[in-house]
Structure 1
Amino acid sequence: MRTIGLVAAATLALLGATAANAKTTVIYAGRVITDADKPTQGPSTIVITDDRITSITAGRSAAPADAEVIDLGDKTLLPGLIDLHVHLTGDPGGDYRSEAVDPDEWGVVVGVKNAGITLRAGFTTVREAGSAQYSAFSLRRGTANGFITGPRIIAAGPALSIIGGHGDVTGFREDVHDVLDQGYTCTGALECAEKVRKASRAGADIIKITATGGVLSQQGRGLEGHFTSPELQSIADTAHSLGLKVMAHAHGARGIEAAATAGIDTIDHGTFADDTALKVMKAKGTYLVPTLMAFEGIRERLGKGIYTPTVEEKVRMTLGSVGKAVTRAKALGVPVAFGTDAGVFEHGRNGGEFALLVKAGLTSREALAAATTVAAKALSMESEIGRLAPGMSADMIAVSGDPLADVTALEKVEWVMVRGRIAD
């Protein structure tokens, strides 16, 4: 009995020491948006313990003597932003042939640079939508441990593709393809299930597939569907059985419809989505991630000798339809979640997506929700991120002005905290 008493006493002492060592941060802000769907609050005090929000109260409350105090003046404090489609390990305008030259390790170096830029732009969570085998996983670990400055990373790793499709290595001789192949192409339902399991084993947080042709790859087979319906169904069922969601790069309407029918969780780009495809998305609860900024980056580089003739032809097929799917999606009740395809344009310009969403028909409040509450729900992380509330992760940003009145305020983020850590 005496031994049990000593153990209990030691445990209580340890818990007391842990509580005493907890870091308290007190933030004063002139305005606070706790939830994109709720009214803006006036002057408020936010208390954070380590990496969690402890309380949010009206007015200016006294801070404990040992607390770190941050006074944001009249700035607006709001949840950290979420970008569901980025490529941290790449920069725009690179030659596709660099795949045969640059080692995967170089992607980590580039990714460290871009992770910091992305966080300072206000994006505290991103979904890394395709990289070399382990580069995004290394970045994920580095930012989680605080070794490098960057957002929380939900990482896919290499995308699943058909042989010769968007996402596969294309544009080289066949013997070079064999050397560069990362082993994530599949043919038939059985092999596609195998590749989902391989991605899961490697450490993927989400399965990325290229359900249709793509604009910037060297495959010249248009932008419609690539996988067969049985292959798509196998991918979705296998991923879901492992507790993983599936994100699908998809442009063509019938490819979008087939992916949504199979139960794919998000359609990224969705450029040519028509009412038939969108109605299936609505019925299945599939999210649209429009990536409108990607086309801004592409438009800026068109006709400058950056893209090959194969790519330029596909670019010209898409530009006239950009944004129309967002307008249709809103009318049909399909949830629109924020994603940009950063890496096709310069990292750090992610906030430009907000104005494009508003131009396509969303309100400023809906655009903010797309990058907070809606995106968090698409990740099944709505109890962790996307709002400011006690118990939530201390992910927050501050801007001047009111982003619900002028959404471009989100292009100029002035202060960032992620997981309770202030970005430098």
Structure 2
Amino acid sequence: MPIDIIKAATTTAHQYHKPVFAHPTSDTGMRVAVAGGADILAHVSPDGYVGWKQADVDMLRQHHVAVIPTLKLYKWELEREKVPNPEEHKLVKTAIEQIGVFAKGGGEILFGTDVGYISDFSTEDEFRFLGAAGLTFDQILTSLTTAPAKRFGMAEQSGRIAKGLDADLVLLKADPHADVRNFAAIAYTIRKGKVIYDAQASDKK
């Protein structure tokens, strides 16, 4: 996309205090999106199989750009194309490598998926890939809680457990310290103090 079109879109969005999400799939697209003023990359950019370097991380941080890894997307796309051993494919490996470099360099990561586009709702693979990229328990937890709350201007009401904040909680069936896949083992989801998801009740349906 031409840079002037991107800048026109981001300038208008920012005038209305709206964040701009970009969906670049290659390292070139990523750099154009950042130069155009995008705020958040909706996924990493492994299409050209080019790993991110510290200079890329520095650029993203300098422009205050956060990244939603969306690593599972690439495995899902390869499976849809019936590519054998998708997790061994360079596309998946490059994606994992990119977010690992970004995390190690102190980049801001927000958890998210492409559910709605992809038809597999499980987040287990996403957490597993984040662990394979080298993200720690604390980094993954931050991407789920305080980082998005801060990024979207909700840090004073959510993202933490504290008196006076919204009682938005997720209770897990197992300890993610032991295995990051357990972040996906949801027992209850609570929104403002009310249970909106009960895994046991859901399993009985």
TM range (shorter): 0.7 to 0.9
Check the 8 A contact 2:167/2:192 in 1, yes or no: yes
1:414: how far off? 0.8
Letter in 1 for 2:185: K
Matched, 1:300 2:73: no
Check the 8 A contact 1:282/1:332 in 2, yes or no: no
Where structure 2 has 5 or more consecutive residues not aligned to the other structure, the ranges are 84-88, 198-205
CA distance in 1: counterparts of 2:6 and 2:126, whole angstroms: 29
Letter in 1 for 2:67: L
Matched, 1:419 2:197: no
Alignment of 1:48-197 (within 5 A): none
1:331 is aligned to: 104
Check the 8 A contact 2:21/2:38 in 1, yes or no: yes
1:410: how far off? 1.7
Question: Which structure is higher in strand share?
Answer: 1
Matched, 1:287 2:71: no
1:344: how far off? 4.0
TM-score (norm 1): 0.41
Letter in 2 for 1:407: V
User: Is the alpha carbon distance of 1:318 and 1:255 closer, same or farther for their aligned partners in structure 2, counting shifts above 3 Å?
Assistant: same
Matched, 1:268 2:29: no
Check the 8 A contact 1:254/1:277 in 2, yes or no: no
Higher relative contact order structure (alpha carbons within 8 Å, sequence separation ≥ 6): 1
1:329: how far off? 0.6
Where structure 1 has 5 or more consecutive residues not aligned to the other structure, the ranges are 1-226, 305-315
Q: Classify the secondary structure of the residue corresponding to 2:153.
A: coil
Check the 8 A contact 2:174/2:185 in 1, yes or no: no
CA-to-aligned-CA distance 1:222-267 (integer Å, 9 cap, x gap): xxxxx21222222221111101010111111122112112321111
1:353 is aligned to: 126
CA distance in 2: counterparts of 1:388 and 1:351, whole angstroms: 24
1:331: how far off? 2.9
1:287: how far off? 0.5
Check the 8 A contact 2:96/2:133 in 1, yes or no: yes
TM-score (norm 2): 0.81
1:91 is aligned to: none
Number of equivalent positions: 187
Identity %: 25
Q: CA RMSD in A?
A: 2.1
Letter in 1 for 2:69: P
Letter in 1 for 2:78: R
Alignment of 1:18-33 (within 5 A): none
1:350: how far off? 2.3
Matched, 1:245 2:16: no
CA distance in 1: counterparts of 2:124 and 2:158, whole angstroms: 18
1:341: how far off? 1.0
1:256 is aligned to: 30
User: Is the alpha carbon distance of 1:410 and 1:419 closer, same or farther for their aligned partners in structure 2, counting shifts above 3 Å?
Assistant: same
